[in-house]
Amino acid sequence: MRRIALTALVTLVVVSAGCTGLLTDDTVAFDADEASVSDSALDSTGYEGTNSTEQTIQRNVSVGGEERTIRITNHYAVYARSGTVDGVETPEMAQFVVFSSPGAEIANQTLNPVAQLSNRQLVERVSDRTGGVSDVAFVENRTAEALGSERAVGVFSGTTTVGGEEIDVRIHVTNFEHESDVIVAVGVHPAEVAETENVDELLAGIEHSGDED
């Protein structure tokens, strides 16, 4: 399974998170706290970390006719597990990513548009902008625990190309606010693989700002 769906989602969130306004100083910094998956959840599901990155974006925006500089720091971590697809052993058969972006709130107004996007909108934007996952369709909504609360998880079907052949995939997406940050978590796996239980365990294992609930 290639990383295109997850990488595209991360890129989308990073770009969207930079669209802020109502700044009062020459430079305003918004820093997210790191989000990750606990070692115990990784051990029980067979997933391993493949990438963990901090990304800082700085750009100029026009506010009230004046130029301001904003700096946003995001974090994401990618995990994967090997498995067999159509009789072929695949090193990254299933993938899971957790992403944290600062809520960027000023005067009780949330400036990060990611917080306003539904799970369906996140998946549709990834599909429209990248073409990496096609024929995206809604399957169902369900709930799963993450960071001490029940979260809405959207499940979508789609197809992607691996080794020149199309395969059906399932995409699990949740998007919520926690401790002033926006948390996005995504699981992607072949449709033929029953992976929901593992995805839910990874969601339950998300840690953010030391919160291990």
Over residues 37-55, the pLDDT tens digits come to: 999 999 999 999 998 988 8
- The predicted model gives 7-29 an average pLDDT of 50
Domain spans of the chain? 4-208
Q: Count Cβ atoms within 10 A of the Cβ of residue 125 and give its class: 0-12 exposed, 13-18 middle, 19 or more buried.
A: middle
SS3 96: strand
Residue 20 reports pLDDT greater than 50: no
* Main-chain phi, psi angles of 34, to 5 degrees: -65, 140
Residue 101 reports pLDDT greater than 60: yes
* Main-chain phi, psi angles of 41, to 5 degrees: -65, -40
Spatial CB neighbours of 46, under 8 Å, sequence gap ≥ 6: 81, 82, 198
Tell me how far apart the alpha carbons of residues 4 and 131 are, in angstroms, rounded to a whole number: 9
Nearest alpha carbon to residue 174 among 133, 204, 131, 137? 204
pLDDT-derived band at 83, boundaries 50, 70, 90: confident
Q: What is the pTM of this model?
A: 0.82
